[in-house]
A = this chain, B = another copy of it.
Amino acid sequence: MSHPVINVDLTAKARIRQVALELFALNGSDGTSMRAISSRAGVTVGLITHHFGTKAGLIQAVEDDLLDGIANAIAYQETDESVDGVVRKLDQRLLDHIDANPLVAAYLRRMMLIEGNGAGADLTERFTRMALRQIQDLRRRGIASTSRDAEDQVMQVMLVQLGQVLMQPFVDQIAGHLGQDPQRYQLSLRKTRTT
């Protein structure tokens, strides 16, 4: 109920993006009006169109930011040396980043799981390509296993790691309705290759 929760440390443009991500993740981009964004960000609607042109432009900007954040999170870091531990580190960094940014998780969930055909397909494709690029980068540096092909490794991290994160609220919800402790139930995914 505390609507004008605005972070004055950010520029108006950044604040708009931040609020937009929040509302998009919560209610979808279709379900959030520019007026709702402007009101929560403490600006006028006109400023949004000034900075981002159109609503589609704002969505684009939000997704660019989101993907940049993930790319940075899972990028190569100097501390990565050992060949075998690096894949586990990659997985962990992705999970940490999503854990630290629940709005990112919610947005990805909405887009990747539901809007598979349509608006979300683009984001899913960009995410997939980005992950593939990062893994190929690690391979070029000789610090990611090359025993399996890169595509297989991408499927692994996206389905198993990301998939579990995306599904967890579903588990919690059902456990809640059954009066069970959600902590006791965790979903473990594995991709089975039917050769």
| A contact set with B: CB distance below 8 Å | 28, 30-31, 109-110, 112-114, 116, 121, 124-125, 128-129, 132, 151, 154-155, 158-159, 163, 166-167, 169-171, 173-175, 177-180, 183-195
Contact = CB atoms under 8 A, between A and B. Distances in A.
A114 B111 CA distance: 9
Contacts of A30: 28, 30-31
A158 B184 CA distance: 16
A174 B158 CA distance: 8
A163 B170 contact: yes
30 contacts: A28-B28, A28-B30, A30-B31, A109-B113, A113-B113, A116-B173, A124-B173, A128-B174, A128-B178, A129-B177, A151-B178, A151-B179, A154-B178, A155-B174, A155-B175, A159-B185, A163-B170, A166-B170, A167-B167, A167-B189, A184-B193, A184-B194, A185-B194, A186-B191, A186-B194, A187-B189, A187-B192, A188-B189, A188-B190, A188-B192
